[in-house]
A and B are shown apart, each in its own frame.
Chain A
């Protein structure tokens, strides 16, 4: 069985300050991990994914995440927040070798960026 826990339901930062969105996962096998972003009234867009290559993964719009097996974590970071980063972010896990349609989503973290 696999599961994912997003440790904060809401994160608020000021524009220009760092962003940290925390995600812990549980998986019986080596997982693939993803971060998706959802802007208001939009569909989900892939930010980045980890599939057992480099543990530090770079994504779009300056985001990156580090896979830490010992801590079962996959936290999302960005050095400097922009107003356009305000959105909901989902951490997602898939068992390695598992079906591509069987993803497990976290409950989401709403990121607010204050001017």
Chain B
């Protein structure tokens, strides 16, 4: 099993550009989440999904869109990048009976100039 994979690992954008961060998992987990990590802030939930076709907002959703057409994939879209979105982004997956344990991808480091 590859677990949770994320691409790209690094990305530099200019203000106003759009892009999609990819996330995939091969564990057949129903739940998937996107977090951003900023220094001294821990991880903050951006969006989450409880299954294909079902998504909802987390703590910091502004400027991001998600969709979930399959169980395996959960892409995160930046519509018009801003310097405040410079961060490390983590995708995670979990399953209902897992007691809350989440499985994390390796992260995408995004810089917006």
Partner-B contacts on A (CB < 8 A): 9, 32, 34, 36, 41-46, 49, 51, 90, 94, 99-103, 105-108
Measured CA separation A79–B94 after assembly (Å): 31
List residues of chain A with CB within 8 A of the CB of B45: 101-103
Given contacts A90-B42, A106-B42, A107-B41, contact A44 B100 (CB under 8 A): no
Measured CA separation A94–B92 after assembly (Å): 15
Q: Which of B1-50 contact A (CB under 8 A)?
A: 4, 31-33, 35, 40-45, 48, 50
**Number of residues from B at the complex interface, CB < 8 A:** 27
A-B contact pairs, 9 of them (CB 8 A): A42-B106, A43-B106, A100-B94, A100-B101, A101-B45, A101-B48, A103-B100, A107-B42, A108-B40
Q: Which of A42, A51, A103, A107 contacts B102 (CB 8 A)?
A: A103
Which one of A36, A44, A107, A108 has the greatest number of beta carbons of chain B within 10 Å? A44
Given contacts A101-B31, A101-B33, A102-B45, contact A49 B99 (CB under 8 A): yes
List residues of chain A with CB within 8 A of the CB of B43: 44, 90, 105
Q: Chain A nearest CB: distance from B104 CB in Å?
A: 4
Measured CA separation A61–B62 after assembly (Å): 38
Q: Chain A nearest CB: distance from B32 CB in Å?
A: 8
| Contact call B31/A100, Cβ cutoff below 8 A | yes
Q: Which of B35, B40, B92, B101 contacts A9 (CB 8 A)?
A: B40
List residues of chain A with CB within 8 A of the CB of B32: 101
Which one of A42, A49, A100, A108 has the greatest number of beta carbons of chain B within 10 Å? A100
Given contacts A42-B106, A100-B95, A101-B33, contact A107 B40 (CB under 8 A): yes
Q: Chain B nearest CB: distance from A29 CB in Å?
A: 13
